[in-house]
Every structure is written in structure tokens, then in C-alpha cells.
Amino acid sequence: MAEPFALPPGRGRLRPLGGLVLDRAAIGFGGISGLALAPDLTLTAVSDRGRWWTAPLLLAGGVPVGLGPLRSGPLRDSAGLPLPRGFLADAEALAAAPEGGWYVAFEGRHRLVHYADLDGPGRPLPAPPGLAQAPGNGGIEALAVLADGRLLALAEHYADAADPSLRRAWIGAPGAWQPRRYRPAAGFAPTGAAGLPDGGALVLERRFALFGGGFSCRLLRLAAEVLAGDAPWAGELLLELPPDGPAENWEAVAVARRPEGLWVALASDDNESPFQRSLLAFYAWSS
């Protein structure tokens, strides 16, 4: 179901632990677009094919070597019926909800949904203001719960009206959103986010150039003081993939507090293409 591979040496405070190549045929689907990592190293993922899976991460000598027994199923609507694959099933982001359960952000028909259990019905939540006007494939791709319980949401391709280099962003809670703006690197767009214990967040950015090297991605830290301000948010660079990891369609990031420090997990979306891979990469973040 998953084969380990080595990561290149890291930079700064991020130490590579190793990665896994996932077997899409064994899991039954690909398209990972949202990821969560629990302190006990249970992984939970959602797919833009309207599916979810959860499995424990297996270690040997502190190095990821595989996945344990995996459960999976379809994401469901408010009546508990499986979402039809396509426009309504494009799940793009996942975050563990403070009240229990999960927040899932969808593109296509842009919306935010709370699941008490991923195998149960979804409860629609008030969406950030203006989200309905986002491009069909440019809504919320990055969703995180911050240390104080607030939500952080970043749109992939929904540009600020006054400055097209910025992306629409929101912070707050469903029904009490505050609009903000996010500044990605030129040519990049945010695809994943995860809250940090210090009140900040990690943001994953992606760029694709058909004739310029394919996929490249960046992992950045948004400090708590940056999130507290009204100025456009910009992050501190932590990783570049490549060279800090394989060139793939990295689309999700998760963080877990472990006894030895923080763990950071990244996941790539294979688009269910024979030319791409579903990968997981793991890093330890020393204090």
C-alpha cells in the first residue's frame, strides 16, 4: 500500500524523516488534496474525487516505513448520500475542527462543510464573504485551524480586485469571517495550510510550468504577528521542492505535536494520472 523513500537533506530547522509512495490501486483512488496528522501519527486525507481515507503511520527506528490498516469511504451530503463524483465532490482542504469532527472545503460549488464523522452526513457552514464569486477551480485550497480556534482560509486563484498579485484570504469563524489578502511568490498559488502551536501557520504554495520544469512548490511559515495584521500576509520560506524533496504536485500540509517536537507532513495530488505519484513526505521541526 505504501513504499518508503529517502528525502534529500533538509534546511534550517526542518529535518527530513522520510517519505512514502502510495499505491493508488491498493487504496482505490488518488487525488489527495487535504491532509491531517494526529499526535498519535494517524493520517486522514480527503480526495478531490469525493473520497476520504484514514490510516496509522508505521515507523521503524523513527523512520516512516508504511501505513497500517486503512479505512476509506465516500464523502456525503447533508442527507448522508455519497456525493456524485465531479462538480459537487471536489474536496480540496481538510482541518480538524475544535468542536470535534472535520472541516472540509470544496471547490466547484464553493462551500465549507462540517463532518462530525467523515463517514456521515455533512453540515454546511457559512462560507467566507465573496467566495461564491471565486473561479470554479480557484476557491479555498488552503484551510487551517489556528491555535486560538480561528479558521484561516486561502483561495487558490481568487485575486484581490485592487492588486491581482494577491489572493483572497479570510480569518475568523463561520459566520464571523474577516477578509484578508495573501501574497504568494510570483507564479505560485496557495494549495495547503496548517496551524502551528505558536499561533502561526504553515502555507504550501505550488507552481506548474508546462515548458518550465513542471511542478515546483514552496513551504512557508506565517508568523502569528503577521496573521494579526491587516497588511497582505507573506511567509518565511522553509522548504523548496525540489530540491528539498521530489518535484510533484504537492497540495496538502499537516502538523502534529509529538513528544520530540513538531512533525510536518506533506501530500501530493496525483490527479489519478499515470504520469504522477501520490507521495507523503515527513519532516521533524526542532525547537
The per-residue pLDDT for range 126-184, each reduced to its tens digit, is 999 999 999 988 999 999 999 999 999 999 999 999 999 999 999 999 999 999 999 99
In this prediction, what percent of the chain has a pLDDT beyond 90? 92
In tens, the pLDDT along 184-199 reads 999 999 999 999 999 9
As given in the structure block, the three cell numbers for residue 255 are 502538523
In this prediction, what percent of the chain has a pLDDT beyond 70? 99
As given in the structure block, the three cell numbers for residue 100 are 470535534
Residue 212's pLDDT is what? 67
Distance (Å, whole) CA 204 – CA 179: 20
| CATH number for 104 | 2.115.10
Neighbouring CB atoms inside 10 A of 91's CB total: 27
How many domains is the chain built from? 1
As given in the structure block, the three cell numbers for residue 206 are 505550488
Residue 2 predicted with pLDDT over 90: yes
Residue 76 binned pLDDT confidence (cut-offs 50, 70, 90): very high
**CA atoms 8, 26, 67, 97: torsion sign:** positive
Is the model more confident about 221 or about 260?
221
Q: Which domain holds residue 58?
A: 2-285
